[in-house]
Structure 1
Amino acid sequence: MRRLVARDERWPLREAFVIARGAKRQAHVVVVEITDGVHHAHGEAVPYARYGEDVPGVLAQIDALRPAIEAGADREALLRLAPPGAARNAIDCALWDLEAKQAGVRAWDLVGRPPPSPVKTCYTLSRAAPAAMAKAATANARRPMLKLKIAGADDLAAVEAVRAAAPRTRLIVDANESLSFEDLQRLAPELVRLDVQMLEQPLPVGEDAVLQGYESPIPLGADESLHTRADLEACAARYTCVNVKLDKAGGLTEALALAQDVRARGLDLMVGCMVGTSLAMAPAMMLTPGARFVDLDGPLLLARDREPGLSILGSMIEPPPAGLWG
């Protein structure tokens, strides 16, 4: 018989992680372990306040789902039993891990896919004063891609400082819903001038319908506006790229289906993450084939990662070892 155990863990960051909505100094994650008495499987999720989540609430959600999971509910049943979010993600990823261990194969073998190839991840620079962001960019100028957090159009000076400090690095700018439409219209041509590859989630959710019909000079990406397949039709009319995250989608099962639909619509795929350990990043590696952007730098932001963790050399992430997940 199955047994499910959930716990929360705190992982200190190397330095404060600052975005438009505030700062954090630790990754407070929820880990689910499911065992059948022989195999021990794990999944990790990050409750996110922006989506009305906190750790106690997510643990309570998981506890409410415990009887069904311990009675044998599978991943497809879980999609019907729980809404998308961190609780479902942690359980879903643990079920993938358990299924792979029980079958004696890797997780990607369960869906007939080849092992994911090593991929290069973005590296995120927290929002700060231009001089501080330039210093961080200088220290990371050899990375293939940097992602800059901004909190308004006034942060253009920080983008300019980063571009000057890392002239050869590809740049993404992430506004985290902090711009108005007028800000976007002013900022977009400047970002093109600075050779920024994409502007992520410029407008607040609920205010981005104005993007439909807007001919942006820079590719726009949806993050907070896209959680599951239910959001894709609206986003496809407003954005050219979408950021798929396991915590938003509520697990790998939904995220795989969402990524397939993203590609079928001809949109660019970005595979993203919340700030967590390698256990949270490992299942997301299955989404990376065909992705234009990969942003799985969570472990690089931690003071220390769990063991075993992902092998990351510079910005290159290797597929997860079986001892970690899947």
Structure 2
Amino acid sequence: MRLALKKFTLVLKHTFSISRESHDFQDTLIVSLSGKNETGYGEATSNPYYGITIESMISEIESVRDEIEAFDMGSPKDFHSFLVEKGLSNFAICALDLAAWDLYGKLKGKPLYELWDTSNENYPITNYTIGIDSIEKMVAKMQETPWPIYKIKLGTDDDVNIVKELRRHTDAVFRIDANCAWTAKETIQNAPQLKALGVEFLEQPLKADDWEGMEQVMHRSVLPVIADESCIVEADVEKCSLHFNGINIKLTKCGGLTPALRMIQKGRDLGLKTMVGCMTESTVGISAIAQLLPQLDYVDMDGPLLLKEDIADGIIITKEGGLVFPKMGGSGITMRS
């Protein structure tokens, strides 16, 4: 295989704010793996919360470049096991794993969802994320992009009133993501009011390690609660099943499609709702997520919708959440430059 790495800086349409950070740009690493006249593409974004930079990922991957290029990939699962053995971070493994699956599917001439024996006839609609901002700007973002499901980022001193005001402007379903900013008491108190305002579920209201608080919430919240920061890798799924109603899997955090497939199955076996979320990836990462859709209850794959300009073609998200799947194999990705 031939390996290539390229850094991109994605420019966002609007400043994106959550409870712990704000940014106008998102750095991302695109990995390509080529062989037999086909090229597969993968992606992983930088992330300060997890201490990941583009430079750190490039350094990791370059340290095993020769072994990667010499690897005889029978299947992406074998390749993933090899990467884990090399001790790479999950973010770097994710970019390589996505590229391997895209290449594998292109060589087979089939999209990944078909290779996994699933059908794309039915799939969940992605939410559209509204970051923390002034009420006026949050309303303006909704009016700019009418959507059937919004994920509302919260973590302020006036969260319930924000949702009340947003509800005045749309009948869409709301999902709330506090990104670890609430306490158990706040979550339990806020939940009835939010449920009355048409909120479907709460995502990661408490700090990732506040298992005692989550146990209180699990038993007393009138809204379902989905784990995000508390569910990073495969080993977290079983513990989350005792404290959450569902899990939000991020490909970058768990290490790509290979472990995500196992996490989805484990979650379903434990009676959890399954969701895959994004980290403001371009169409490269989002097209990989799309291959998992037939297996999911919920999805957050609005990354390309938040960008001023994309860098690739693949899955197309149409008005109000419809999808056009690529006709080529793998994740169906082609780069624009």
Give the TM-score of the pair, scaled to structure 2.
Answer: 0.89
Deviates more, 1:14-23 or 1:101-110: 101-110
Identify the match of residue 311 of structure 1 among 312, 316, 332: 316
Tell me which residue corresponds to 1:181.
Answer: 184
Identify the match of residue 158 of structure 2 among 154, 159, 178: 154
Cα distance per residue 1:283-308 (max 9 Å; x no partner): 11122114222110000000011242
Deviates more, 1:255-264 or 1:101-110: 101-110
Tell me which residue corresponds to 2:76.
Answer: none
Tell me which residue corresponds to 2:297.
Answer: 292
Aligned pair in 2 of structure 1 residues 12, 5: CA closer, same or farther (>3 Å)? Answer: same
Q: Tell me the number of residue pairs that the alignment of Structure 1 and Structure 2 aligns.
A: 322
Equivalent residues in 2 for 1:17-96 (5 A)? 17-36=16-35, 38-72=37-71, 74-82=79-87, 85-96=90-101
User: Does structure 1 conserve the Cα–Cα contact (< 8 Å) formed by 2:113 and 2:292?
Assistant: no
Aligned pair in 2 of structure 1 residues 66, 89: CA closer, same or farther (>3 Å)? Answer: same
Equivalent residues in 2 for 1:117-266 (5 A)? 117=122, 119-140=124-145, 142-152=146-156, 154-166=158-170, 168-213=171-216, 214-266=219-271
User: Does structure 2 conserve the Cα–Cα contact (< 8 Å) formed by 1:259 and 1:287?
Assistant: no
Instruction: List gaps (5 residues or longer) in structure 1.
Output: none
- SS state of the match for residue 226, structure 1? coil
In 1, Cα distance between equivalents of 2:295 and 2:101? 21
Q: Which one-letter code corresponds to 1:271 in the other structure?
A: V
- SS state of the match for residue 203, structure 1? coil
Deviates more, 1:205-214 or 1:275-284: 205-214
- The structural deviation recorded for 1:84 is 5.4
Aligned pair in 2 of structure 1 residues 8, 91: CA closer, same or farther (>3 Å)? Answer: same
User: Does structure 1 conserve the Cα–Cα contact (< 8 Å) formed by 2:233 and 2:253?
Assistant: yes
- The structural deviation recorded for 1:230 is 0.4
Q: Which one-letter code corresponds to 2:212 in the other structure?
A: A
Cα distance per residue 1:85-121 (max 9 Å; x no partner): 2100000011111212223333234333334656521
User: Does structure 2 conserve the Cα–Cα contact (< 8 Å) formed by 1:117 and 1:318?
Assistant: no
Deviates more, 1:235-244 or 1:212-221: 212-221
In 2, Cα distance between equivalents of 1:277 and 1:239? 29
Q: Which one-letter code corresponds to 1:146 in the other structure?
A: Y
User: Does structure 1 conserve the Cα–Cα contact (< 8 Å) formed by 2:120 and 2:294?
Assistant: no
Over aligned residues, Cα RMSD in angstroms?
1.9
In 2, Cα distance between equivalents of 1:59 and 1:316? 35
- The structural deviation recorded for 1:257 is 0.8
- SS state of the match for residue 106, structure 2? helix
Deviates more, 1:289-298 or 1:254-263: 289-298
In 1, Cα distance between equivalents of 2:173 and 2:50? 30
In 2, Cα distance between equivalents of 1:79 and 1:282? 23
